Amino acid sequence: MSLLWFLVMVGAILSATAGFVYVVYALSKVGTIGRSREDIVGEADVSADSVFNTEFREELKNRGRLHFENVINENAMFLQQDLRLTTSQLNEFMKEEIKTVLKDEFATYEESISNAKDQAIDAIQKTQNLIEEQRALITEQLQNQAAAEKAEVIARFEKNMGEIINHYIIESIGTEIDLSDQLEYIFLNLQENKAAILEDFRNGA
Amino acid sequence: MALKLPNSIGGKRDLILATRQVEQILNDRLQDEVRERFGAKKVGTKAGQQMLGELLETNKLKDDTQSLKQLLQQLEGIRQHSPQIRISFAQEPDQDLYKRIVAWFRTEIDPGVLVQIGVQPAIGAGFILKSPMRRYDFSLKTKILSSTPKFLEVLHRAK
């Protein structure tokens, strides 16, 4: 569209220039045969002065100005339209560019986030593994310790079981077993050890 | 003739008590003899005479000053020279059991033996005898403690 307007404008300028050249050429042909160049030039100057007098030049100026203004106005309109179009295209372009850039940035951002997420998951996984290992180790240690303590308690219990049972029985029976009930046992043991006691007396006296 | 101790006077403590009793009674009687000689009123004795009575009865002695003097000397001799034995129970034996135990030792071991009774509640039951040379342990506590391997065996079987 702008190219078309440009061509029309160039055509108009070329047409005006061609007309102007033609007028100058036609005017230069009138009355030039058989006269010296200086005369012709002088005559042309006079003619030119008479033709291109002040009014005519003003008229041309006005016409040129009007034409120029028209051209300018038209071109301004074209330029405005073109500018609008360009602005619109530029907007579209900017939108697309921004979209692309944002898309790329978002993609980069997503990738970064994804990497960070992977790293975080990896770190968490490692931590979990470590915790699991520690837990297993502590569990094993606790089990070993508990087993050792249990064995120690059992060993201590077995070692002191006689004392424990004795304590328990004596605490339980208290003074329930009357001495008179033990008479038979007492005299039986004394009688069985009579010889030894006599021997002690003989040796110890 | 050696003095026979009644079974109620079993140990050294009883012997000392009996000696003091006899001594007190002898002193009181000597005082009364002096008072009688000077026409003063007799005081008598306030000391218990149970042990003295048993001693006189067991040895068939007369209850006079001379006999008491001899008795006192013999008691002192026994205190210094008689063999001793100590027997411990989980609880204090009553008087009857005490006399029976003393009687057994004086019949079977030595007529002049002094039997000291001890109390060790920790033994539970049975007795511990300490002769001049040895210690005999027939207590329930020792029986239980010596049975620990059997307990363990039973315990492991029950697992």
B73-114 pLDDT per residue, tens: 988 888 888 888 999 998 889 889 999 999 999 999 988 899
Distance CA B142, CA B128 (A): 10
Q: Which two tokens stand for residue A161?
A: 């079981």
For CA atoms A138, A144, A150, A156, give the dihedral sign. negative
**A163 vs B contacts (CB less than 8 Å):** 145
Distance CA B129, CA A185 (A): 14
Q: In Å, how far is B19's CA from the nearest CA of chain A?
A: 23
| Amino acid letter, residue B143 | K
Cite the DSSP H helix spans in chain A: 2-29, 37-51, 54-159, 161-173, 183-192, 194-204
pTM for the full model?
A: 0.54
**B129 vs A contacts (CB less than 8 Å):** 190, 193, 197
For CA atoms A159, A165, A171, A175, give the dihedral sign. negative
Q: Is A145 exposed, middle or buried (0-12, 13-18, 19+ CB in 10 A)?
A: exposed
Q: In Å, how far is B32's CA from the nearest CA of chain A?
A: 41
Cβ(A46)–Cβ(A66) below 8 Å: no
Beta strand pairing call for B84-89 and B114-119: parallel
pLDDT at A143 over 80: yes
Q: Which of A37-41, B9-13, B15-19 has the lowest mean pLDDT?
A: A37-41
A48-82 pLDDT per residue, tens: 777 778 888 888 888 888 888 888 888 888 888 88
Cβ(B11)–Cβ(B114) below 8 Å: yes
Mean pLDDT of chain A: 85
| Cβ within 8 Å, pair B97-A180 | yes
